């Protein structure tokens, strides 16, 4: 079992003992998503894949939060915010904008990219370094700005 999956499981047990009903529900949804991926792909997911799953879950909740906020549904937006916060607890420390810029610049230098046609090569180098620690849409915008 990966360390991250063990941490999630231990946190679930702690939350259950503390009778934190909302937290338990959210952590169970994390475990269900990990299990779904394992069953669908017939694999045992490692930490890097768990990070990708958590990253995707946070992104989905950010999108829902934005839609609920735009629609004036603050009650539902608050639920999404709580879920986002609990899921984010299992993600590593987020990179600052300067750190992301440094990673992108290093990847551009490494690939020798000079135009947008080489964006894929740059993103292939950047993505593993940023996965779970930064918003890929922000990274993509920075790559476009530096190559464009």
Minimal CA–CA distance to 30: which of 94, 93, 89, 95?
89
Convert the pLDDT of each residue in 23-50 to its tens digit: 999 999 999 999 999 999 999 999 989 9
Mark whether 13 and 47 lie in a shared domain: yes
Instruction: Say how far apart CA 38 and CA 55 lie, in whole Å.
Output: 17
Tell me the CATH number at 26.
1.10.1510.10
Q: What angle do CA 138, 56, 18 make, to 5 degrees?
A: 120
> Domain range for residue 113?
97-147
> Are 12 and 81 in a shared domain?
yes
Number of domains the chain contains? 2
Are 58 and 120 contained in the same domain? no
Give the domain-ending residue among 42, 62, 88: 88
What confidence score (pLDDT) does residue 1 get? 77
CATH value at residue 115: 1.10.10.410
Q: CA 125 to CA 108: how far, in whole Å?
A: 9
pLDDT tens digits, 59-79 = 999 999 999 999 999 999 999
Contact criterion met (CB below 8 Å) for 4 and 31: no
């Amino acid at each position: 079992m990966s360390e991250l999956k063990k941490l999630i499981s231990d946190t679930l047990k702690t939350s259950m003992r503390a009778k934190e009903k909302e937290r338990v529900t959210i952590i169970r949804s994390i475990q269900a998503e990990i299990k779904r991926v394992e069953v669908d792909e017939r694999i045992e997911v490692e930490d890097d894949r768990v990070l990708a799953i958590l990253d995707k879950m946070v992104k989905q909740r950010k999108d829902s939060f934005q839609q609920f906020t735009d629609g004036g549904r603050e009650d539902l937006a608050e639920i999404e915010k709580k879920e986002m916060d609990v899921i984010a607890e299992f993600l590593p420390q987020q990179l600052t904008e300067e750190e992301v810029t440094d990673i992108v610049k290093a990847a551009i230098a490494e690939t020798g990219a000079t135009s947008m046609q080489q964006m894929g090569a740059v993103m292939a180098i950047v993505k593993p370094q940023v996965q779970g620690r930064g918003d890929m849409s922000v990274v993509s915008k920075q790559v476009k700005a530096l190559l464009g």
